[in-house]
Amino acid sequence: MTNASHAVLAGAPEEALLPGRDLFEVARYLIPMEASLAQGCLVAAGVPAVLADAHLVQTDLLLAPAMGGVRILVPEDHLLQAQAVLEAYGRGEFALDEDADVSGS
C-alpha cells in the first residue's frame, strides 16, 4: 500500500479494506439515489467507482441504517482523486444552473 493510501485511510475502519481486492470505501449514503449521483460524479471525473449494497438497500429502505447504507468503492490508486471529487460534490460544484440546457440536444 502506498503512503498516500495510508494517509487516506488513516482513521478509517479496517472493514474499508476488502480482502483480496484493490477496492476501498470512500463514502456511504443511506439513500441509494444519493450514492448513485455521487458515483456518477466520480465516473464523470475519470474515477472508476462502483456501488456496493445498492440493490439490497433499494429492496427495503428500512434496511439501510442497519446495513450502513450504500458504499462507494474505488481502486486504491484513485483514492485521493475520489476524495477530492466527493468534496467538490459536497460543495455543490457539480450543481447545474437554473438555465442549464439538459435536453441533450
Q: Is residue 96 part of a domain?
A: no
Query: What pLDDT does residue 26 have?
Result: 96
Determine the Cα–Cα distance for residues 62 and 35; give it in Å rounded to an integer. Answer: 16
Q: Is residue 9 part of a domain?
A: no
Q: Is residue 84 part of a domain?
A: yes
Neighbours of 72 (CB within 10 A): 25
Q: Which stretches in the chain have pLDDT values below 50?
A: 1-13
Domain of 87 in residue numbering reads as 19-91
Q: Is residue 4 part of a domain?
A: no
Determine the Cα–Cα distance for residues 40 and 28; give it in Å rounded to an integer. Answer: 14
Neighbours of 32 (CB within 10 A): 19
Query: What pLDDT does residue 20 have?
Result: 52
Query: What pLDDT does residue 46 have?
Result: 95
Query: What pLDDT does residue 11 have?
Result: 45
Residue showing cell 476524495: 83
Q: Is residue 12 part of a domain?
A: no
Pick the closest to residue 82 from 52, 22, 39, 34 (CA basis). Answer: 39
**Total tally of structural domains belonging to the chain:** 1
Determine the Cα–Cα distance for residues 50 and 73; give it in Å rounded to an integer. Answer: 5
Q: Is residue 83 part of a domain?
A: yes
Q: Is residue 50 part of a domain?
A: yes
What pTM does this model have? 0.72
Q: Is residue 105 part of a domain?
A: no
